[in-house]
Amino acid sequence: MHRLTTVLLAMLMLSACAVPPPLGEEPAKLISGPIPVKTATPATEALKCLGRLPRPPMDLRLAVGDIPDRTGRFNYQDIGAYVTQGATHMLISSLGAARVPQVNRSTTAIMEFELAQALNQRLGEGRVVQAGSQSVMFRPIPKGMVLGSTHYVTGAITELDFKVVNNSAEVTIAGIGAGAKSYAVQIGLDLAVTDTRTSQIVYSKAWRKQAVGYETSANLFRFFDLGVKGGAFAGDVLFDISIGEQPTEPLQGAIRWAIESAAYDIVSELYRTGAACDQHLTTAARERRDAEHAEAERAAAAMPIGIAEPQVARRDEALNAVPAEAKGNAAPPPSLSLDRVPERQGCRMLGGRMVCDR
């Protein structure tokens, strides 16, 4: 009986620690935790490297459209949506890390409100401003003031698969056990880059990322006799002591990594940087890009000579013309996404298409 009393008293003492402070007392001190830091993934440094490269003399302004969650996975009882609903903003941040010129097309409500008020001459700067030769109190709106995009990015999070990999090993001897588990959740992302003026998709691709988790544990299961012969505690009672670790890659962080990898591929293609910043990627990511480039070269080499090959559309060069003396740097190598397809022997450009002699 003495043992049972001791156990009950210990339980009461522990429960007393959770009693809230009485009314009128000072608020409980909040736990501050670690300091905020800039978000980074293994692809972030490669994006920053792209931002430091000299830019070719081309007119490029990207807009990011809505990138919704199209996985169809939703938990109505607990966490709600499994994947982030902010993929659009993740891509905007990723392109910003690469210093790509962007125009806002995802959250335009404030811009549209102020533009409407300015057109009605109700919006001002709080001071007198010059509108040509006139001094006015409202914000003047010259024609063509709002920048347009040259290309825009759209897409969706399209995959969410649980337990695509699930391995475990456990052993228990005489009530003492240990085990280890590994598992993976897979997400998929599809994006496309569209020329704003022509509506032609100039680049599209799908990315996939696995979020991996590992679990190790050590357990002790023992039966103890409390010495009570009757009542609820009669007989042996099981005591369970568990010690374990469960490091898991954050799912939303895995999505950000996939989006930053996608942004790196998109910017590399549009600016035709090739592998200039690939050294900042992980080894597996470099191998993946090398394999993709090699596959593209093989596909181009295997294309039948006698078939007219369509030219990938590029923005009107008359609008983007830059004097040769102002270019400064040598022209970058051609790209299949924004440059003309290189002419082959026995081929010629005709009406925007490459025609080859049979």
Residue 349 belongs to domain with CATH number: 3.40.50.10610
Residues of the chain predicted below pLDDT 50: 226, 228-235, 308-344, 348-355, 358
Q: How many CB atoms neighbour CB 329 within 10 A?
A: 9
Asked if residue 28 is part of any domain, the answer here is no
pLDDT at 318: 35
CB distance 106 to 87 below 8 Å: no
Asked if residue 12 is part of any domain, the answer here is no
pLDDT at 173: 62
pLDDT at 296: 85
pLDDT at 269: 94
pTM to 2 decimal places: 0.70
Asked if residue 46 is part of any domain, the answer here is yes
pLDDT at 109: 94
pLDDT at 249: 77
CB distance 205 to 261 below 8 Å: no
What is the spatial distance between Cα 266 and Cα 260, in angstroms, rounded to a whole number? 10
What is the spatial distance between Cα 287 and Cα 293, in angstroms, rounded to a whole number? 10
pLDDT at 5: 56
- For residue 212, the enclosing domain spans 38-103+147-356
Alpha helices, DSSP H only, in 44-193? 44-52, 87-97, 109-119
- Looking at the structure of the chain, the number of domains it has is 1
Asked if residue 20 is part of any domain, the answer here is no
CB distance 91 to 263 below 8 Å: yes
Alpha helices, DSSP H only, in the chain? 2-16, 44-52, 87-97, 109-119, 251-270, 283-301, 317-320, 324-327
User: Among all chains, which residue has been given the structure tokens 């040769």?
Assistant: 324
Q: How many CB atoms neighbour CB 254 within 10 A?
A: 20
pLDDT at 234: 47
